[in-house]
Structure 1
Amino acid sequence: MIGDLSSEPAPDAYERLIVDLDTAGARYRLIDHAPEGRTELVSALRGHEVAHAAKCLVVMVKIGKKQTRYVLAVVPGDARLDLEAVKRLLGGSYVSFAAKDKAEELAGSVSGTVLPISYHPRLELIADQSLLAFPELFFNAARLDRSVALATDDYLRLATPRIERITTTA
């Protein structure tokens, strides 16, 4: 599993990602581009179909009145997240996108640069099964001006996401 650096000072999310990818022998490449965090626009800058982008969304799920869980939902860039599917998977009573400040705190990076990897123990990682169709996933590397193209099988091996259907066609 990627990134257990608990005994060391916490590096920034970008540095941690690169160290983890290199340490694990992952097949990836870096892509520098103009600063952009919107999936459709950054996909064009990186030169790939929007569907090949790993769009990362932080979701809050209430379980009854007392428990709150957070999910890092990773879906293809051209797909819509099915919030109800996430709620059902966790047995929730309420679901919504997390507040921006909470999402950025849990993700360790600003909105538009969230990695498809969870480094926070309270952020559960669920990836949509349709991502498995692509040989490579593209995502901003915890910064707006640099992206990563990562082999999908290395992503699955390193990030160990829960794989479910969490997209909707509506």
Structure 2
Amino acid sequence: MSQHTFDTLCALLTQNQACFRIIEHPSAGKSEEVAKIRGTEVGQGAKALVCVVRGGGVKHTVLAVLPADKQADLARLAQALGGTKASLASPKEVAELTDCVFGAIPPFSFHEKLRLIADPELQERFDEIAFNAGTLEHSIILNTQDYVRIAAPEWITFQAA
């Protein structure tokens, strides 16, 4: 969907002298499928979920990023952010906040209303992370420490046990 997001992301990474490479491939959004195409481990994938956290007087819209071979525990995410429940955003909200479709969302937030959260395991397992970069036909493989430095997410454990 978003060539603009792809271009913005590439410019950000280049400007910040990140070590990354781009892979063009057939349309793929499922973690296992795209990892095979990229030649990476599924756990290297940075799965980015747009979530809405509510309750207890709070409302946050977050981009929650975790390894692609893990599942998000939305109740745990809500609790960590002071809410009582969390849910995945609607396709319309996802498009408005990311300019991307499900499966193509990079682990970077370019919208002031989208708070970037990442599970700490994302930075612990692999030297490089991989993700679809705004489109289902473009992936980026990025040095993990460059991701940490440039994206600067809030680190919250929210994956399912």
Same fold by TM-score, threshold 0.5 exceeded? yes
- Equivalent in the alignment of 1:39: 31
Alignment length (residue pairs): 158
Cα offset, 1:94, TM superposition:
2.2
Cα offset, 1:108, TM superposition:
2.0
Identity of aligned residues (%): 37
What amino acid is aligned across from residue 98 of structure 1 in structure 2?
A
SS at match of 2:79: helix
Task: Indicate if the aligned counterparts of 2:47 and 2:66 stay in contact, CA closer than 8 A.
Answer: yes
- Counterpart CA distance in 2 for 1:162 and 1:26 is 20
- Equivalent in the alignment of 1:50: 42
Task: Indicate if the aligned counterparts of 2:79 and 2:85 stay in contact, CA closer than 8 A.
Answer: no
- Counterpart CA distance in 1 for 2:49 and 2:78 is 14
Which of 143, 150, 155 is the matching residue for 1:151?
Answer: 143
- Counterpart CA distance in 2 for 1:23 and 1:115 is 17
- Equivalent in the alignment of 1:160: 152
Which of 112, 117, 120 is the matching residue for 1:126?
Answer: 117
- Counterpart CA distance in 2 for 1:93 and 1:165 is 16
Task: Indicate if the aligned counterparts of 2:28 and 2:136 stay in contact, CA closer than 8 A.
Answer: yes
- Equivalent in the alignment of 1:4: none
- Counterpart CA distance in 1 for 2:136 and 2:86 is 28
Which of 85, 95, 98 is the matching residue for 2:89?
Answer: 98
- Counterpart CA distance in 2 for 1:156 and 1:36 is 25
Give CA deviations for 1:119-162 in whole Å, capped at 9, x if unaligned: 11111111111111210000001011110000000001100001
- Counterpart CA distance in 2 for 1:47 and 1:168 is 26
- Counterpart CA distance in 2 for 1:95 and 1:56 is 15
- Counterpart CA distance in 1 for 2:103 and 2:71 is 16
Please list, as runs of the form range in 1=range in 2, the aligned pairs for 1:14-25 lying within 5 A after superposition: 14-25=6-17
Where structure 2 has 5 or more consecutive residues not aligned to the other structure, the ranges are none
Residue 29 of structure 2 is aligned to residue 30 of structure 1: no
- Equivalent in the alignment of 2:67: 76
- Counterpart CA distance in 1 for 2:128 and 2:55 is 34
- Counterpart CA distance in 2 for 1:82 and 1:94 is 11
- Equivalent in the alignment of 2:77: 86
Give CA deviations for 1:34-87 in whole Å, capped at 9, x if unaligned: 11111111111101110010001011011346x521110101010000111210
- Equivalent in the alignment of 1:3: none
Where structure 1 has 5 or more consecutive residues not aligned to the other structure, the ranges are 1-10
CA RMSD of aligned residues (A): 1.3
TM-score, normalising length: structure 1: 0.89
